[in-house]
Structure 1
Amino acid sequence: MSDIILQTQQLTKEFKGFTAVSQVNLSVQRGSIHALIGPNGAGKTTCFNLLTKFLEPSSGTILFNGVDITRERPAQIARRGIIRSFQISAVFPHLTLLENVRLGLQRSLGTSYHFWRSERTLHQLNDRALALLAEVGLEDMADEVTVNLPYGRKRALEIATTLAMEPELMLLDEPTQGMGHEDVHRVTQLIKKVSAGRTILMVEHNMSVISNIADTITVLQRGAVLAEGPYAEVSRNPLVMEAYMGTTDGQLQGAH
C-alpha cells in the first residue's frame, strides 16, 4: 500500500468568479500529522469541505488510498474512514460522555437507525467506549452529562467520538480554537497521543501547536499552496513570513 493516504491533484473551487481554492496539490503521508495553515481567507476550511464532500470541487481530483473519491457523497467518504471533527464542538450536550462515545461506536453494530431496539443492545459497547474515554483522559467522567464539561474537555470528548468511528484519516478543524493556554497544551498532547498508528490532517491557527506536533505543513494563501515542508523550513520561508506578518523580518512564532 502506498505511503500516500490522501492526494489532491489541481483541486479547485470557484464561487461565482471568486477562486477560493486554486489548483491545490496535496499529498498526506500515511501515519503523519499534516497541518494546513494560512492567513484568514486562505481557503483552509473550503479545502476541508472539498475533502469531506460538503462542497463539490469545480475541477481537480481527490484520491484516498489511490481510489478516486472526487464524486462520492459525504456518507461514502465517512464509510471509507475519513472522519472529520468540526470547529464547533459537535457532541450531544444532554447525553453522558459514555453515551456520546457509544453513539459513535453504534455504527459498527449496524443498529444506528434501529430506534425501536432496546438500549440494552448498546451495553456491549460500554467497554470499548470506556477504553476510548481513557485514551483521551476522560474515563473518570464517563457518567457526567456533557453540558457540564469545560470547553477543552468537550473537545477531548469530540476526539473520542471521532476515534469511535475508527478513522483511517482524521480531519481536525481548528481543534484548539477558543481555548486557554492550559487546554491548548492538553489537547495538543492528546492529538499527539492519538496520532500513533493513525493519520491526521488538521487546520490550525496556533503556531506553537503546529511547531510541536506537525510532521508536514502546507501553507495556503489566497487558495493556492504557498509553501510546504517541515515547520523549521516553512517558518523561515520569506514568502510565508510576509503572508502572515507583512514583513520578512522576524520569525513565525508570533503568528497565531
Structure 2
Amino acid sequence: MAEVVLETKALTKEFKGFTAVSDVNLKVQRGHIHALIGPNGAGKTTCFNLLTKFLTPTSGQILFNGHDITRAKPAQIARLGIIRSFQISAVFPHLTVLENVRIGLQRSMGNSFHFWKSEKSLSVLNDKAMELLVLVDLGKFADTLTVDLPYGRKRALEIATTLGMEPELMLLDEPTQGMGHEDVDRVTQLIKKVSVGRTILMVEHNMNVVAGICDRISVLQRGAVLAEGSYAEVSANPSVMEAYMGSSTAILEGAHA
C-alpha cells in the first residue's frame, strides 16, 4: 500500500450553523499529484485553509506523516514541510527574479528576515537560486524585475520560490487561474516537471489540467467528498456529472478537446 503523506479524518468546519466542510476523509499518497475539484461553493478553499491552518477545524483530525497537526500553527506546519504556493511564497515586485528566489532560500535556512545582510554574504545562495530558476524555465529572466514579468512567468517564479523552501508537500491553490491557453499549458507542464520526487495537492478548476497531470482526484460537493479516484473514474461517475452539469450528461467532456 502506498505511503500516505497527508490524511484527514472526519474533517469538519462550521461557521455559525453553516457547515462548509463536512466529515472529509482524504489520503494524499507520497509522490502523487492529488486534485481537489468541485463546483463553486463546494468547500475546496475552506478545506485548503484548514490544511494550512489559516482556519481551525470544528472537529476532526489532520495527520502529516502520521503525526497529528490538527492544532499546529501555520508557521509550525511550514517548518514541517507543508508549503502553500501562491499565497505565502515571497514575490516582491521590485526585486529581481533571482532575488525573490534567494529570499525563499533564506527562509529554508531560517534567515527569513536578514535583509540587512551584505550582498556578498547572500550571493552564496545565487547558485542554488539559479538552479531553481533553470528548473522552472526562468534562467534568462534572473536579472529581470519581477514587476516586468508576464503573469504566467510570475506564477512560475512563485513555484521556484516555494521550491526554495524545500516543501515535502506543496499545496497549489488554483495555479492556472486567470491564464491564457499558452500560459496554462506552460504552467501545467511545469507542475508535472517539479512534481518528480515531491507530493502535490492542488485545487484546480481547469479540467484539462486535472485530466492531464493528476494521479488522483477528490470531488467535493457542499463540503463533503462526493467521489474519489482517477480522472477516468470520477468523470464517469453519475453523481459527479449531476453535480457539475445538473444532468447525467458527460462531465466536462471537453477536457480532452
Matches within 5 A, 1:224-239: 224-239=224-239
For 1:26, the aligned partner's letter is L
User: Which residue number in structure 2 is paired with residue 36 of structure 1?
Assistant: 36
CA separation in 2, counterparts of 1:217 and 1:202? 10
User: Which residue number in structure 2 is paired with residue 215 of structure 1?
Assistant: 215
Query: Is 2:256 the counterpart of 1:245?
Result: no
The TM-score, its normalising length taken from structure 2, stands at: 0.96
For 1:30, the aligned partner's letter is R
CA separation in 2, counterparts of 1:166 and 1:89? 12
Counterparts in 2 of 1:178 and 1:19: CA distance versus 1, 3 Å: same
- Give the secondary-structure state (helix, strand or coil) at the position aligned to 1:42: coil
Deviations 1:133-170 (A, max 9, x none): 00000000000000001110000000000100000000
CA separation in 2, counterparts of 1:214 and 1:162? 20
Structure 1 contact 130–139 (Cα < 8 Å) conserved = yes
For 2:246, the aligned partner's letter is G
Query: Is 2:151 the counterpart of 1:137?
Result: no
Runs of 4+ in 1 over 6 A off after TM superposition: none
User: Which residue number in structure 1 is paired with residue 164 of structure 2?
Assistant: 164
The CA RMSD measured in Å over matched residues stands at 1.6
Deviations 1:15-67 (A, max 9, x none): 00100000000000000000000000000010000000000000000000000
Query: Is 2:113 the counterpart of 1:113?
Result: yes
**Structure 2 segments unaligned to the other structure (5+ residues):** none
Matches within 5 A, 1:1-256: 3-86=3-86, 91-254=91-254
For 1:61, the aligned partner's letter is Q
Counterparts in 2 of 1:46 and 1:33: CA distance versus 1, 3 Å: same
Structure 2 contact 82–168 (Cα < 8 Å) conserved = yes
CA separation in 2, counterparts of 1:77 and 1:85? 14
The TM-score, its normalising length taken from structure 1, stands at: 0.96
- Give the secondary-structure state (helix, strand or coil) at the position aligned to 1:125: helix
Aligned-residue sequence identity (percent) comes to 77
CA separation in 1, counterparts of 2:136 and 2:143? 15
- Give the secondary-structure state (helix, strand or coil) at the position aligned to 1:167: coil
- The count of corresponding residues between Structure 1 and Structure 2 is 255
Alpha-carbon distance, 1:254 to partner: 4.1
For 2:183, the aligned partner's letter is D
Deviations 1:97-148 (A, max 9, x none): 0000000000233322234332321100000000000000000000000000
Alpha-carbon distance, 1:89 to partner: 8.4
Alpha-carbon distance, 1:90 to partner: 5.7
**Structure 1 segments unaligned to the other structure (5+ residues):** none
CA separation in 2, counterparts of 1:237 and 1:109? 46
Structure 1 contact 207–253 (Cα < 8 Å) conserved = no
Structure 1 contact 87–174 (Cα < 8 Å) conserved = no
